[in-house]
């Protein structure tokens, strides 16, 4: 599939999830046995660690369908970038998705830090420092609503992955930024570029 076809397929799965019309593919013993020898996912997804955002479930996907990389707030560091590059170079995924979500605590902590000019102590500081540039850019556009900031974060990080992961550019992989809404169960596209 092309990167756009993959995104269309993921959105179709999300619509099934949001409307309780699940197909629940690739979740049986046959599929487990099929992927023992290797994986062939259709997309790599960088997402938040939030337990309310189970990536495979919200796209109505199954075992081996999506290569998921999760950190608080979807923070991208060298390990995450390397994981994306592995998915592109070794696994051959045609699409990379950065997925933010409604009510993200990590984004909320970064907003609080920026608004109060106070960087937190402890390891929370790690993800706050990674997310703060998205908050600052969102504020520069007059965006102060949490939904706007979460959408901006998804767009900015998708662009970051597109610009800074050499394999993504070299292979013309599609890149999408999206935001998941907890209230509706739907994923909304905020950025898309389907390769060269």
- Any binding-site annotation on 75? no
Instruction: Report pLDDT for 196.
Output: 59
Cα–Cα distances (Å) from 94 to 59, 60, 75, 150, 169, in that order, read: 17, 19, 22, 25, 11
Structure tokens at 192: 């898309």
Average pLDDT over residues 117-142: 93
Average pLDDT, the chain: 95
**DSSP letter, residue 72:** G
Instruction: Delimit the domains of the chain by residue range.
Output: 3-193
- Any binding-site annotation on 48? yes
Which fold does the domain 3-193 belong to in CATH?
Beta-carbonic Anhydrase; Chain A (3.40.1050)
Q: What's the predicted TM-score (pTM) here?
A: 0.95
- Any binding-site annotation on 89? no
Q: What is the pLDDT of residues 25-65, one digit of tens each?
A: 999 999 999 999 999 999 999 999 999 999 999 999 999 99
Structure tokens at 180: 């998941």
Give the model's confidence band at 165: pLDDT under 50 very low, under 70 low, under 90 confident, else very high: confident
Average pLDDT over residues 5-27: 97
């Amino acid at each position: 599939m092309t990167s756009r076809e993959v995104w269309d397929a993921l959105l179709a799965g999300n619509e099934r999830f949001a409307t309780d019309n699940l197909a629940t593919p690739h979740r049986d013993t046959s599929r487990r046995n099929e992927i023992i020898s290797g994986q062939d996912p259709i997309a790599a997804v960088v997402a938040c660690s939030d337990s309310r955002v189970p990536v495979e479930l919200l796209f109505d996907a199954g075992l081996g369908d999506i290569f998921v990389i999760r950190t608080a707030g979807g923070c991208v560091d060298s390990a995450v970038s390397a994981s994306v590059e592995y998915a592109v170079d070794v696994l051959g995924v045609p699409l990379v998705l950065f997925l933010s979500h409604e009510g993200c605590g990590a984004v909320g902590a970064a907003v609080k830090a920026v608004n109060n000019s106070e960087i937190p102590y402890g390891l929370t500081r790690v993800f706050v420092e990674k997310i703060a540039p998205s908050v600052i850019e969102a504020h520069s556009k007059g965006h102060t609503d949490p939904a706007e900031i979460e959408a901006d974060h998804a767009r900015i990080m998708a662009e970051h992955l597109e610009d800074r992961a050499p394999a993504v550019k070299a292979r013309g992989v599609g890149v999408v930024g999206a935001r998941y809404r907890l209230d509706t169960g739907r994923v909304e596209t905020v950025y898309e570029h389907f390769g060269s």
